Amino acid sequence: MKTFILTILFVFFTSFVSGQQFLWSTIEEDSVSQKFVPVHLLNDEILKFYDHYKLHYDFTGYSKERFIKESSYGFDDWEFLNDITELTVLALRSNVGTGSVVLVMFITEININLIVFSNEDIENNFNYILNFSSDRKKFSTWLQTLMF
C-alpha cells in the first residue's frame, strides 16, 4: 500500500511540476479566482469527480506525522504541511498514460486524507471502490467526515 501511495504521489507531483493541471483549492489568497472553491461547495465539486470517474481509491486516515515520514516523492521536505492548521483541500489532475486521474488531498491540523479518482486501476492496484450511482449519497455522507 505504501508503494502504491508513493507511486500516486510521484505521478502527481512530478507531472504537476512539468505542467499538469491544478484544478482548485480552498486557499483563496493562493488561488486564481476560478480555481478557488469555498469549503461549503467542496462536496458538490468532489461529487463531480465521483460522477465522472468509474472508481476511486481511499487513502484516508494518515496523521501528518506519518505522512511526512513515509512520503518521499515530489518534495524533499513535506514539513511545510505542518504550517497548515485549518482544513485545506486541493485537487490535481494528471495523466497516467491510460487516462486521467484526479487526486483530492484534504489537509487538517493533524491529518492528511487522499482520494484518487480514475477510470482504470492504477499500477495494477485492485483495491479500488467502484463509483455506483446508487452509492452516491453514501459517498457524499462519508465525504463530509473528511471536512472536519
Query: Which tops the pLDDT comparison, 71 or 74?
Result: 71
CB neighbours of 58 closer than 8 A, spacing ≥ 6?
A: 115, 129
Is 16's pLDDT higher than 70?
Answer: no
126 contacts 118 by C-beta, under 8 angstroms: no
Predicted pLDDT of residue 8: 46
User: Distance from CA of residue 78 to its chain's centroid?
Assistant: 16
pLDDT > 90: what percent of the chain? 56
Mean pLDDT (whole number) for 110-115 = 94
Is 20's pLDDT higher than 60?
Answer: yes
Is 10's pLDDT higher than 70?
Answer: no
**How many C-beta atoms surround the C-beta of residue 102 within 10 A?**
21
Q: Domain segments of the chain: what residues?
A: 2-145
Predicted pLDDT of residue 76: 66
Predicted pLDDT of residue 51: 98
Q: Considering the entire predicted model, what is its pTM?
A: 0.82
**Distance between CA atoms of 136 and 134, rounded to whole angstroms?**
6
